[in-house]
Amino acid sequence: MSTGLNDNEIISKVLSGDKQAYAGLVNRYQNYVFTLALRFTKNREDAEEVAQDIFIKAYRSLADFRGASKFSTWLYTIVNNTCITFLRKKKLPMDSLDREGVFEAADSQESALRANLVEQKSRVAMVNNAINLLNPDDAEVITLFYKSEQSLEEIARILGLETNAVKVRLHRARTRLKEKMQHHFSEEVKDL
Amino acid sequence: MNTNYTNIPSGDEGLNGDMEERLWNYIDGSCDAGEKSVIDKLLENKAAWKLKYHELLEINEMLQSSGLEEPSLRFTKNVMEEIAKLHIAPATKTYINKKIIWGIAIFFITLIIGFMIYGFGQIDWTATSDSKLPVDFSKVDYSKIFNNTYVNAFMMINVVLGLFLLDRYFANKRKKFREDT
């Protein structure tokens, strides 16, 4: 295990033949990658499979990482591409923010999520459940901004967008999240 | 962002999208000093802005405090078992063999020179002329040069060459983008 080493030091070790050092990167980023994958797949089994695939792809392409950006930014670019490919394969809606189907699909999860809330009635659970009700694009940008410690410029690189477009997307995502929380969890919001 | 902060709004425009957008930028710290001071003043003087600010701030805090999901305990082990069977692929740069690129370039350059030589070979250089120029262009039979299969083929090759160069241009842009990230 390579705890104590920074990302670039671990990468150097892996590139020089120490395969086991890669576990350090997996341990460090598994929750971030899994959370992002879950935003797209809406299903833990699929998210775990996709996250595993992402780490394998990252390992295979590690020689291409030149350190021009943070490793996390590079990794999240792979996350974004892999998740989009996953959605295409599954033929799930992914890019239309206004498509009704996205919200209908998300709403169908509401009862299960509310049941989950009964067990974990906390602010964290409520926010996570509300994020899960968003469409993948909105959920991704919120997760990248709030949980993955990425700046707007870094998110723009990951998503292949202009920084201003990311700002707009983030703003729109937060507005939708607020609506979801008011619509689905108004009682819980009052209780907190 | 089309926020105009040179004129301080009255604050009476209600809880509209622009207000939210500006407040989010303020909370994120992505607005400049001028916009920040305008928002500061609005928050001091306008109750609607203050109310909205606190509402958004609460959402922001909730989002910041929300945790990450965790995969199964075996996750790292599963990944390490998979990569044990794999090797790191060589860097993309090494895929591009410069010798092949140069070979293609030399082939096309030779082809172009060949056609130019052929074209000039069609001109009757021995024809007499009063002109001081060594070539009497009025007597050049252009139809001989530009109206045969070889010239058509030459033009086709140029089109292909153009498309090839365009492809290289976009490939370089892609490569640069990947290097940046």
Q: Which of B5, B24, B64, B63 is nearest to A168 (CA)?
A: B24
Polymer length of chain A = 192
- Across chain B, mean pLDDT equals 78
Say what the pLDDT of residue B81 is: 92
Nearest Cα of chain A lies from the Cα of B13 at a distance, in angstroms, of 18
Say what the pLDDT of residue B3 is: 40
List, for residues A93-117, the tens digit of each pLDDT value.
554 444 445 455 555 555 555 555 5
**Complex ipTM above 0.90?**
no
Q: A123 vs B62: CB contact, 8 Å cut-off? A: yes
Q: Which of A62, A66, A174 sits opposite B88 (nearest CB)?
A: A62
Is the pLDDT at A49 greater than 80? The verdict is yes
- Across chain A, mean pLDDT equals 82
CB contacts of A38 in chain B (<8 Å) are 69
Which distant-in-sequence residues (6+ apart) come within 8 Å of A80 by Cβ? A36, A140, A158, A159
Q: What gap in Å lies between CA A98 and CA A109, rounded to an integer?
A: 18
Q: What is the mean pLDDT of residues A18-28?
A: 92
Which distant-in-sequence residues (6+ apart) come within 8 Å of B150 by Cβ? B115, B118
Going by the DSSP 8-state scheme, the letter that residue A74 receives in this structure is H
Q: Which of B181, B64, B2 is nearest to A155 (CA)?
A: B181
CB contacts of A181 in chain B (<8 Å) are 59
HSE-CB of A159 using CA atoms within 13 angstroms: 28
Say what the pLDDT of residue B14 is: 46
Say what the pLDDT of residue A51 is: 95
List, for residues B26-61, the tens digit of each pLDDT value.
998 888 889 999 999 999 998 999 999 998 898 888
HSE-CB of B136 using CA atoms within 13 angstroms: 10
Which two three-digit tokens encode residue A61? Answer: 């392409």
Is the pLDDT at A67 greater than 50? The verdict is yes
Mind listing the domains of chain A with CATH numbers? 1-92 (1.10.1740.10), 94-192 (1.10.10.10)
Helix pair angle (A136-146, A163-184), 10° resolution: 110
Q: What is the mean pLDDT of residues A77-83?
A: 93
Start-to-end CA span in chain B (Å): 25
Tokens 């910041």, located at residue? B64
pLDDT band at B17 (very low <50, low <70, confident <90, very high): low
More confident residue, A1 or A172: A172
Which two three-digit tokens encode residue A103? Answer: 């919200």
Q: What gap in Å lies between CA A41 and CA B52, rounded to an integer?
A: 33
Say what the pLDDT of residue B58 is: 87
Nearest Cα of chain A lies from the Cα of B114 at a distance, in angstroms, of 41
Is the pLDDT at B117 greater than 90? The verdict is no
Q: What is the mean pLDDT of residues B123-130?
A: 63
From the DSSP assignment, how many helices (H) and strands (E) are in chain B?
8, 0
State percent of chain A over pLDDT 70. Answer: 78
Say what the pLDDT of residue A190 is: 60
More confident residue, B100 or A18: A18
Check: CB of residue A156 under 8 Å from CB of residue A144: no
Q: Which of B25, B91, B180 sits opposite A68 (nearest CB)?
A: B180
Q: Provide DSSP, B7-18.
A: S---S-S-S-HH
Say what the pLDDT of residue B136 is: 66
User: Looking at chain B, which residue has its C-alpha nearest residue A28?
Assistant: B76
Nearest Cα of chain B lies from the Cα of A59 at a distance, in angstroms, of 6
Going by the DSSP 8-state scheme, the letter that residue A148 receives in this structure is S
Q: What gap in Å lies between CA B82 and CA A191, rounded to an integer?
A: 46
Q: Which of B59, B66, B88 sits opposite A128 (nearest CB)?
A: B66
Q: What gap in Å lies between CA B9 and CA B31, rounded to an integer?
A: 16
Helix pair angle (A71-90, A44-60), 10° resolution: 130
Which two three-digit tokens encode residue B46? Answer: 């306008």
Is the pLDDT at A156 greater than 90? The verdict is yes
Q: A56 vs B20: CB contact, 8 Å cut-off? A: no
CB contacts of A188 in chain B (<8 Å) are none
Check: CB of residue A146 under 8 Å from CB of residue B64: yes
Say what the pLDDT of residue A25 is: 93
